[in-house]
């Protein structure tokens, strides 16, 4: 404790004064004794100059690095802007594509509507189906509030899709003609021969439906159109069901059976036309 009390702190002023005096002494010596101090100067020069050069190089490298990172940041900012613009253009392209697709669908519905001008119709959109493969039973976004009831015929693509089996306030259930429970009285060929179109999901796996009970003498050829018959108690007359692809004589030698491709693509149904008139109110 006594030693600490006796110890005196050196004032910064005295330290600064001492360093100043030392510097002046070295300056005077270097001026008047150049030869004697040359080695000292060279010694310090050999130390200081490389250090200074290294510092300059490091400074230049740091400056270039900062410039590089500045350029990188600028490029990143530009890249982000380009990404945003690209996303905007892609979103616009998707929107235009969706609008174009919707326009094509509306055009198809309009053309379908023109084929059957004698019937009152309303457009609807499919929002659900009971199958992941075929649209054999599906739901549309219109119902009783839009004048759609059980028994209303439903059209799509180039012809008959099916019939409404249940209707609620804002939606309805539709059974397609390919469903196993479907059986339609139809006409085929130039003679308008009566026949029955049977729904079958198994046959649809091979791409056709069977048209049965055709009179053996009826003139039926490949490419002939099969339409709903006027004698049908559920379907309006003249709606296209499909087209004949094959005709064979039955074993009984009294009737013929034909295979047809349907006028509707039952793997992809989006928009439909519903005939709001009903031929007859029946139970399903």
Q: Tell me the pLDDT tens digit for each residue of 82-92.
A: 788 777 777 76
- Look at 45-49, 83-87, 159-163 and tell me which has the smallest mean pLDDT: 45-49
State whether 109 and 179 are in the same domain.
Answer: no
State whether 107 and 134 are in the same domain.
Answer: no
What's the CA dihedral at 96, 101, 103, 109 to 10 degrees?
Answer: -170
Dihedral of CA 123/129/135/137: which sign? negative
In a domain, residue 5? The reply is no
Is residue 154's pLDDT more than 80? yes
Which of 115, 140, 164 is the C-terminal boundary of a domain?
115
In a domain, residue 157? The reply is yes
State whether 147 and 102 are in the same domain.
Answer: no
> DSSP secondary-structure letter at 134?
-
Dihedral of CA 135/136/138/144: which sign? positive
Q: Tell me the pLDDT tens digit for each residue of 16-28.
A: 677 677 667 666 6
In a domain, residue 99? The reply is yes
Q: How many domains does the chain have?
A: 2
pLDDT of residue 48: 59
State whether 64 and 195 are in the same domain.
Answer: no
Greater confidence, 81 or 72?
A: 81
Greater confidence, 276 or 96?
A: 276
State whether 103 and 189 are in the same domain.
Answer: no
Instruction: Give the closest residue to 173 by CA, choosing from 227, 116, 135.
Output: 135
In a domain, residue 127? The reply is yes
In a domain, residue 25? The reply is no
CATH of the domain at 149: 2.40.10.340
In a domain, residue 95? The reply is yes
Q: Tell me the pLDDT tens digit for each residue of 173-230.
A: 999 999 999 999 999 998 999 999 999 999 999 999 999 999 999 999 999 999 999 9
Instruction: Give the closest residue to 184 by CA, choosing from 171, 172, 194.
Output: 194
Is residue 263's pLDDT more than 50? yes
Which of 80, 115, 150 is the C-terminal boundary of a domain?
115
Confidence of residue 68 (pLDDT cuts 50, 70, 90): low
State whether 173 and 268 are in the same domain.
Answer: yes
Is residue 233's pLDDT more than 80? yes
pLDDT of residue 5: 47
Which of 65, 95, 115 is the C-terminal boundary of a domain?
115
Alpha-carbon distance 112 to 155, whole Å?
A: 8
Q: Are 263 and 241 in contact (CB under 8 A)?
A: yes
State whether 200 and 250 are in the same domain.
Answer: yes
State whether 128 and 99 are in the same domain.
Answer: no
Greater confidence, 160 or 37?
A: 160
The model carries a pTM of: 0.65
Domain that holds residue 261: 119-284
State whether 126 and 102 are in the same domain.
Answer: no
pLDDT of residue 28: 65
pLDDT of residue 17: 73
In a domain, residue 216? The reply is yes
State whether 43 and 177 are in the same domain.
Answer: no
In a domain, residue 213? The reply is yes
State whether 101 and 138 are in the same domain.
Answer: no
Instruction: Give the closest residue to 272 by CA, choosing from 138, 80, 75, 101.
Output: 138
Is residue 98's pLDDT more than 60? no
State whether 255 and 127 are in the same domain.
Answer: yes
């Amino acid at each position: 404790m006594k030693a600490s009390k006796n110890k005196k702190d050196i004032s910064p002023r005295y330290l600064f004064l001492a360093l100043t005096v030392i510097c002046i002494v070295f300056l005077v010596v270097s001026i008047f004794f150049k030869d004697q101090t040359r080695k000292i100067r060279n010694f310090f020069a050999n130390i200081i100059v490389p250090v200074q050069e290294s510092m300059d190089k490091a400074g230049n490298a740091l400056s270039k690095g900062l410039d590089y990172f500045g350029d990188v940041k600028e490029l990143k900012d530009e890249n982000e802007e380009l990404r945003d613009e690209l996303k905007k253009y892609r979103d616009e392209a998707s929107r235009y594509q969706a609008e174009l697709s919707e326009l094509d669908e509306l055009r198809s519905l309009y053309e379908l509507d023109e084929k059957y001008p004698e019937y009152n119709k309303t457009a609807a959109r499919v929002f659900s189906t009971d199958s992941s493969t075929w649209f054999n039973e599906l739901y549309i976004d219109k119902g009783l509030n839009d004048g759609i009831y059980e028994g209303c015929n439903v059209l799509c693509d180039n012809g008959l899709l099916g019939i409404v089996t249940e209707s609620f306030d804002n939606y309805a259930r539709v059974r397609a003609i390919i469903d196993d429970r479907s059986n339609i009285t139809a006409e085929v060929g130039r003679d308008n021969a009566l026949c029955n179109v049977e729904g079958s999901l198994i046959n649809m796996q091979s791409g056709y439906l069977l048209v049965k009970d055709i009179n053996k003498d009826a003139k039926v050829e490949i490419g002939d159109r099969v339409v709903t018959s006027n004698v049908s108690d559920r379907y309006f007359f003249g709606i296209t069901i499909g087209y004949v692809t094959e005709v064979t004589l039955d074993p009984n030698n009294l009737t013929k059976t034909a295979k047809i491709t349907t006028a509707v693509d039952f793997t992809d149904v989006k928009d439909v036309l519903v005939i709001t008139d009903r031929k007859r109110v029946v139970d399903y």
